[in-house]
């Protein structure tokens, strides 16, 4: 029943907001910043609207750690497709998400994602991947925060996959603060019960800023590994919030 309701709510959102999308698309040609700000409000509202019937119970931690006056690089682990709604609903600043190229094939969703400066990464094309990094660097310089998941794919295991160091070049080249983000429970919402959607508690935690210019030479050289270790420690504190989730009950 939840699955049907989510698709119905998605359809309603896309139908109701389509005129606004067309207006914002025109506005983007004259004022990209204003268009992005308004579009992100729509996207945040839309994700709240859709995650309500999904039964997503959100726990948000450490939001006070995110600088409000500068663009940042959010570096997160990746458990589920639901990570994107969790991030967009909770971030306090203008942000673009680096998502896999396959999402670009999804009509309506990808259209709105492009309006909020999301970038689509083709992991099979090294040259295209480098362009995404360069475009992300430019976005940060223009004041847009970027959200990346350096594991490169969804991972429901207990141990995080190695972080791809290339994605951390965004912070290395712009010297913007890195915000480590730890996400738990989003896979219980969908992936662990696919193709059905089940109610679950989802936790997102924003860690203390990491400033590249304050790291040692070795730490800066391996910023991906450094961020991975920070996020691993953050995840250890999430278990207390997940005790009622489906996967926890099976243990």
Q: What is the mean pLDDT of the chain?
A: 91
Residues 6+ apart with CB under 8 A from 59: 201, 202, 203, 204, 241
Using one digit for the tens of pLDDT, what is the confidence trace for 208-220? 999 998 988 888 8
- CB-count burial class (<10 Å; 0-12, 13-18, 19+) for 169: middle
Per-residue pLDDT, 251: 56
Cα-to-chain-centroid distance, residue 155: 14
- What pTM does this model have? 0.93
Q: With 0-12 CB in 10 A as exposed, 13-18 as middle and 19+ as buried, what is 57?
A: middle
For residue 170, CA distances in Å to 47, 72, 74, 178 come to: 27, 10, 10, 10
Query: Using one digit for the tens of pLDDT, what is the confidence trace for 173-195?
Result: 999 999 999 999 999 998 888 78
Residue 249 has pLDDT above 70, yes or no: no
pLDDT surpassing 80 at residue 244: no
Task: For residues 103-117, give the mean pLDDT.
Answer: 88
Q: Nearest 5°: CA angle at 79, between 74 and 84? A: 50
- Whether 74 shows a pLDDT value over 90: the answer reads yes
| Most trustworthy range by pLDDT among 46-55, 96-105, 236-245 | 46-55
pLDDT digits (tens, 9 = 90+) for 123-153: 777 888 889 999 999 999 999 999 999 998 8
- Confidence bin at 250 (pLDDT 50/70/90): low
pLDDT of res. 130: 87
Neighbours of 64 (CB within 10 A): 8
Reported confidence tier of residue 106, pLDDT bands at 50, 70, 90: confident
Residue 40 has pLDDT above 90, yes or no: yes
* Average pLDDT of span 155-176: 90
Structural domains present in the chain: 55-249 (3.40.1130.10)
Percent of the chain with pLDDT over 90: 68
Give the residue with greater pLDDT, 110 vs 125.
Answer: 110
% of residues, the chain, pLDDT over 70:
98
């Amino acid at each position: 029943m939840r699955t049907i309701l989510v698709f119905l709510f998605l359809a309603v959102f896309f139908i109701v907001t389509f005129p606004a999308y067309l207006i914002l698309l025109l506005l983007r040609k004259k004022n990209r910043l204003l268009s992005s700000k308004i579009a992100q409000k729509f996207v945040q509202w839309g994700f709240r609207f859709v995650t309500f019937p999904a039964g997503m119970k959100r726990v948000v931690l450490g939001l006070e750690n995110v600088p409000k006056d500068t663009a940042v690089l959010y570096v997160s682990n990746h458990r589920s497709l639901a990570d994107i709604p969790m991030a967009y609903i909770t971030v306090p600043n203008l942000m673009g998400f680096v998502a896999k190229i396959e999402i670009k094939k999804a009509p309506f969703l990808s259209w709105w994602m492009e309006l909020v400066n999301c970038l689509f990464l083709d992991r099979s094309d090294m040259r295209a991947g480098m362009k995404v990094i360069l475009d992300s660097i430019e976005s940060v310089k223009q004041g847009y925060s970027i959200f990346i998941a350096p594991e490169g794919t969804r991972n429901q295991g207990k141990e995080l996959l190695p972080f791809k160091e290339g994605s951390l070049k965004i912070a290395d080249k712009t010297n913007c603060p890195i915000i480590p983000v730890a996400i738990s429970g989003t896979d219980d919402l969908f992936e662990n019960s696919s193709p059905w959607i089940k109610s679950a508690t989802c936790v997102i935690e924003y860690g203390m800023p990491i400033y590249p210019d304050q790291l040692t030479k070795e730490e800066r050289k391996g910023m991906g590994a450094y961020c991975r270790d920070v996020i691993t420690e953050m995840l250890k504190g999430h278990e207390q919030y997940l005790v009622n989730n489906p996967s926890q009950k099976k243990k």
